[in-house]
Amino acid sequence: MSRDPSPLKSGDQAPSVTLPDTTGADVALADLWAERPLALLFMRHLGCALCREQVDDLRRDYADIQKVGGAAIVTMGTVEQTAAFKANRSLPFPCFSDPDQAAYRAFAVPRGTVVQVAGPAMWGGAIRALCRSGLGKPAGDLRQLQAAFVIAQGGRLELVRYSQHSADVASTQELVAALQSAGDRQERD
């Protein structure tokens, strides 16, 4: 599956995408950032220990995120798989299903090489994540890398963070800082 060769960058307009939520209802993602900034995370696959650790951290720090914006995740799982993932991990934020990877393509989230998804750069992080958050059953493209975007009210990309390898994930602190910056910029404009 080819990806857009031109990755997005800060300052670009976020793509307009509609995805089903965990009830199967279609949601225009732009509605999520219409009122306040949003951290939008694209997961690798539902079994990825590193992604599971990241969403567990996001859940733990969600009160900090809510002070400056919101958060949502996109998975490659079906609606049913995504709903089960959200329920099993007790996630308080919206989760969306994208098994055809239309949103992944729209946001130019790259696939990784074998070294990027399973090479030495990720081993330490993977062992830590496996111990903390466990491993689940993969659902989706195992070579898919993750990405994080912070989208300001109105759709301007404040943060664009494409992972360089499986263990390269955005921290909650990085997301909160970008959400704060997006909110501050909105107040100035």
At the second CATH level, the architecture of 18-188 is 3-Layer(aba) Sandwich (3.40)
pTM of the complete model: 0.85
d(CA 125, CA 22): 29
Listed in order, strand segments (DSSP E) in 36-187 are 38-42, 70-75, 95-97, 147-151, 157-162
Regions of the chain short of the pLDDT cut 50: 1-4
Residues 6 or more apart from 99 whose CB is under 8 A from it? 76, 77, 78, 139, 140
Q: How far apart are CA 69 and CA 63, in angstroms?
A: 10
What pLDDT is recorded for position 132?
A: 58
pLDDT at position 113: 80
Tell me, what's the pLDDT at 124? 59
pLDDT of residue 4: 47
pLDDT of residue 101: 95
- Cβ atoms of 165 and 48 closer than 8 Å: no
- What local confidence, expressed as pLDDT, does residue 3 receive? 47
Question: Contact 69/149 with Cβ under 8 angstroms?
Answer: no
Answer left, alpha or beta for residue 149, where phi above 0 means left and psi between -120 and 50 means alpha.
beta
How far apart CA 175 and CA 173 sit, in angstroms, is: 5
CA distance 11 to 14: 9
Query: Would you say 32 and 178 are in contact if contact means Cβ atoms under 8 Å apart?
Result: no
Distance CA 23, CA 66 (A): 23
For β-strands 18-20 and 26-28, DSSP reports them as antiparallel
Q: What angle do CA 133, 39, 120 make, to 5 degrees?
A: 45
pLDDT at 54: 85
Q: So where are the chain's domains?
A: 18-188
Q: Tell me, what's the pLDDT at 131?
A: 54
